[in-house]
Structure 1
Amino acid sequence: MGNHIDKTVQTSRAPKVPGFSLRQALYFVTAAESGTLSEAALRLHVSQSGLSLAINELERALKVQLCIRRKAHGITLTSAGKEALHQMRALLRQVEELESAVSGSGDHLSGRLSVGCYVTLAPTVLPPLLQGFSELHPMLTVDFTEGTQDALQRKLLDGELDLAVLYDMDVLPEMERVALFSMRPHVLLPADHRLAGEPKVALRDLVAEPMVLLDAPPSSLHTLLLCKTAGVTPLVRHRTTNFEMARALVGRGLGYAILIQRPPNDRTYEGLRVVHKEIAELPEAAVSVLLCWPQQVAQTRRAAEFVRYCLEDRRGT
């Protein structure tokens, strides 16, 4: 009877050998991210037929169709393929972490770290962080992606990004976050505006003038909320998703703008001068800048070190 129990325990604990290889997982992820087999084959330095065969073998092992392949139309992931892509990205990251941990590289980080940043923050926030972190870890490749908050958060949840720098606006509850610093919204005016010499500007004094609205979610909603809080309804004349375009339109005298990011240069690309003014009705308004990552995803050592570096950089240590 004892022998029977021992055999039962041994059988129940026997690990299951995966039916697919890491190579097949890598090929599938690369193909899904590239959009076409030809592009993926170039990235992987393999033949297109070999790549296609590997994906076929992966589908057979998983007993499910992962993608639809059509000539001249690239590949389209099935619902099962989208879930597999998410899981296999995580798997490949874990394998990379394992290799780094057992390779004897010590404190040297290697591999790839993918960082996203809200589009208007990127030009001033990312360069110093990327430069400083890369100098500490020269063997690590840091990629970055700019985008709107909703797009970046989708990429985080899909495993396309490890971390993202976002405003504290409409951040999903699934996100872990740390605050880096805060910024205050301001009014941007052309240098020859009638209120350019005032220390502060009331939004009610601009209500009859056209507004240039930065329409990159969630900036537009936040701007309109600020106006509502101040008790005014802005006259939106122009909308743009480009931060410098908004500044250029203001510089041309085509309206005023409410922005958060404040470049040190007070001139537009055309050399026209603009001025930044505090909002009189909202003296305490401030928005935090966050570093975010998905709660359900185990953070890699690379990501954890980047978080630590950003927090130390915030403290000036």
Structure 2
Amino acid sequence: MTERISLRRLHAFVACAEAGTMTGAARQLFVSQGAVSVAIAQLERQIGVQLLLRSKAKGLTLTDAGRRLLPDARALLARADELQAGMRDLGHAPSGRLVIGCFTTIAPFLLPRVLEEFQASHPRVTLDFVEGSLTDLQQRLLEGECEVAVLYGVDIQAGIDYDTLYPTTPYVLLPAAHPLAAKGEIRLADLADHDMIALDVPPSLRYFNEVLSSAGVSPRIRHRTESFEMVRSLVARGVGYSLLIQRPIADVSYEGRGLVIRRIQDDVRPLDVVLARPAGVRLTGRAAAFTAFCHASAARR
């Protein structure tokens, strides 16, 4: 009968992939370096392929086989943890560690509230998070580094499923002294002759370009930046206008300079915020609880 892969060996493999060295993996697992080395050797011998390349200069590097195994190993270990927690806490609320992902510009407006409110309603769950770009978060989902992720519903890769949480629409951000600031609403065509400060975090810039092009406007981009607050600071200094989606409570820049928010008069295609997950993977109880929490929160918006 074929020998089953042990969870202990998979734990050692995942720890090596994350730590990059046998020593780091041993420290993470609270075992000796020799025990990690033996577990990896046994796993490689059992499945018949090399999973890790050893180098004094670079430490441990995943082979192609190792890269393919890693997300499945993480998912299997997470499922094993969920099974153990479920049996131990049968009849009780979800428990254990849940890692969620969040798109970088959404995170400051969403995560603090989510961390407080979800933790209050699910005190047995330890909630952690990672931030990143659209591409980065989807890769983390596929590799099992996070169970679910909040991001914009565009450019979704194969292997990712998602549910829509709520739609968003952009607004025009202006310096207080801008000639368009006196208007109650802004037509996109009015922006054609003004410089733009572009938030260049995919998919933001492409989406804003599509919004402007729908009105026949080719933006005059003066500066591009990946920083949300840099956009606001440059606009407050009078360098140009910008289009943004997330809106802080205070309409001032980091320097304390005033900003003006104006609605867009044109009909604009909304950009959905979604909750993404790996396709075909059964959610753990804690991830399912977080999903329900997100949908309930979105319904109250």
| Structure 2 residue 300 is the aligned partner of structure 1 residue 316 | yes
User: Among residues 52, 55, 59, which one is paired with 1:70 in the alignment?
Assistant: 55
| Structure 2 residue 224 is the aligned partner of structure 1 residue 239 | yes
User: Among residues 113, 120, 125, which one is paired with 2:110 in the alignment?
Assistant: 125
Give per-residue Cα distances to partners, 1:226-259, cap 9 Å, x unaligned.
1111101111121111111111111111221111
Give per-residue Cα distances to partners, 1:79-136, cap 9 Å, x unaligned.
1001111111111011011101211342232221111111100001122112111112
User: Among residues 194, 207, 212, which one is paired with 1:227 in the alignment?
Assistant: 212
| Structure 2 residue 268 is the aligned partner of structure 1 residue 301 | no
Give per-residue Cα distances to partners, 1:260-287, cap 9 Å, x unaligned.
111112111111111111123x334322
Distance 2:27 2:190 in 1: 58
Q: Look up the equivalent residue of 2:185 and give its one-letter code.
A: K
Distance 1:107 1:199 in 2: 53
Matched position secondary structure for 1:124? helix
| Residue 116 (structure 1) aligns with | 101
The Cα shift of 1:173 comes to 4.9
| Residue 272 (structure 1) aligns with | 257
Q: Look up the equivalent residue of 2:186 and give its one-letter code.
A: V
| Structure 2 residue 232 is the aligned partner of structure 1 residue 285 | no
- Partners of 1:86 and 1:158 within 8 A in 2: yes
| Residue 248 (structure 2) aligns with | 263
Q: Look up the equivalent residue of 2:243 and give its one-letter code.
A: I
| Residue 107 (structure 1) aligns with | 92
Matched position secondary structure for 2:269? coil
Q: Where in structure 2 are the equivalents of 1:1-317 lying within 5 Å? A: 16-18=2-4, 20-280=5-265, 282-316=266-300
Paired positions, count: 301
User: Mean alpha-carbon deviation: is it higher for 66-75 or for 120-129?
Assistant: 66-75
- Partners of 1:189 and 1:275 within 8 A in 2: yes
Distance 1:197 1:47 in 2: 69
- Partners of 2:152 and 2:272 within 8 A in 1: yes
Q: TM-score, normalised by structure 2?
A: 0.94
User: Mean alpha-carbon deviation: is it higher for 225-234 or for 43-52?
Assistant: 43-52
Aligned-pair Cα RMSD in Å: 1.8
Distance 1:255 1:46 in 2: 57
Q: Look up the equivalent residue of 1:119 and give its one-letter code.
A: T
Q: TM-score, normalised by structure 1?
A: 0.89
- Partners of 1:185 and 1:285 within 8 A in 2: no
Distance 2:137 2:259 in 1: 30
User: Mean alpha-carbon deviation: is it higher for 66-75 or for 299-308?
Assistant: 66-75
Distance 2:169 2:150 in 1: 17
Matched position secondary structure for 1:196? helix
Q: Which runs of 4+ in 1 moved over 4 A?
A: none
Percent identical across equivalent pairs? 43
The Cα shift of 1:154 comes to 1.4
With over 3 angstroms needed to count, the CA separation of the structure-2 counterparts of 1:226 and 1:264, relative to structure 1, is: same
Distance 1:231 1:184 in 2: 19
Distance 1:173 1:17 in 2: 33
Matched position secondary structure for 1:50? helix
